Amino acid sequence: MTGGETTIVAGIEIPSTDPVFLTVVFALHIPLGIACVGVGALAMLSEKRRGRHSRLGTIYFWCLLALFASATFLSLMRWADNYHLFMIGAMSFASAWGGRAALRRRWRDWIRLHITGMGLSYILMLVAFYVDNGKQLPIWKELPHFTYWAIPLAVGIPLIVRALLRHPLVRARTEFSR
């Protein structure tokens, strides 16, 4: 069903009737976003060692790259309306890239950089989702726009800080340097 310049699917308004835009949204962008949320959460909850955590982290990274690529394409199609989503996506992927590079190249304080980078990438991915869709979601649509930014940050930043304070490798490194 379409209405003017939008397409309505399951009560959610998609701001285009362009078949290419809609195909990318439904065939790539939404499934990749769901994969990133699920795989990223599993990676965060997995024991931090080689194996499941690193495998899931790698899948998250590559899914996030594909999500950012699809977001870039969609943003370019509607640049005046979506450039801010491109910027949030770029910051999300840049954070993930930095977190992954810190781990792989063993930069100084790599553990802290990895935790912070990957955590921020996840938070920013959620911010992009809520900034784009919050106005249509139950409960969220009743909230002021700034909360689409504030809530993911208010939940995610303390979790990153907690991980930075409690992760065994961070604690061991801090105790070693004293």
Q: How far apart are CA 127 and CA 71, in angstroms?
A: 14
Tally of CA atoms within 13 A in the half-sphere of 23 that contains its CB: 3
Q: How far apart are CA 173 and CA 155, in angstroms?
A: 26
In this predicted model, which residue has the larger pLDDT, 6 or 4?
A: 6
- Residue 112: the pLDDT is 95
pLDDT higher than 60, residue 159: yes
Q: How far apart are CA 123 and CA 120, in angstroms?
A: 5
Q: How far apart are CA 170 and CA 174, in angstroms?
A: 6
- Residue 4: the pLDDT is 54
- Residue 1: the pLDDT is 37
- Structural contact between residues 99 and 117, judged by C-beta atoms closer than 8 angstroms: yes
Q: Is the pTM of this model over 0.85?
A: yes
- Residue 2: the pLDDT is 39
Q: How far apart are CA 100 and CA 77, in angstroms?
A: 30
Contacts 24+ apart (CB under 8 A), 53-62: 57/100, 57/118, 59/35, 60/36, 60/96, 60/118, 61/96, 61/97, 61/100
pLDDT higher than 70, residue 9: yes
Which range has highest mean pLDDT (8-12, 64-68, 130-134, 165-169)? 64-68
Q: Which two tokens stand for residue 37?
A: 């949320």
Q: How confident is the prediction for the chain on average, in pLDDT?
A: 91
In sequence order, the 6+-apart residues with CB closer than 8 A to the CB of 54 are none
Domain locations along the chain = 19-177
Q: Kindly report, residue by residue over 80-112, the tens digit of the pLDDT.
A: 999 999 999 999 999 999 999 999 999 999 999
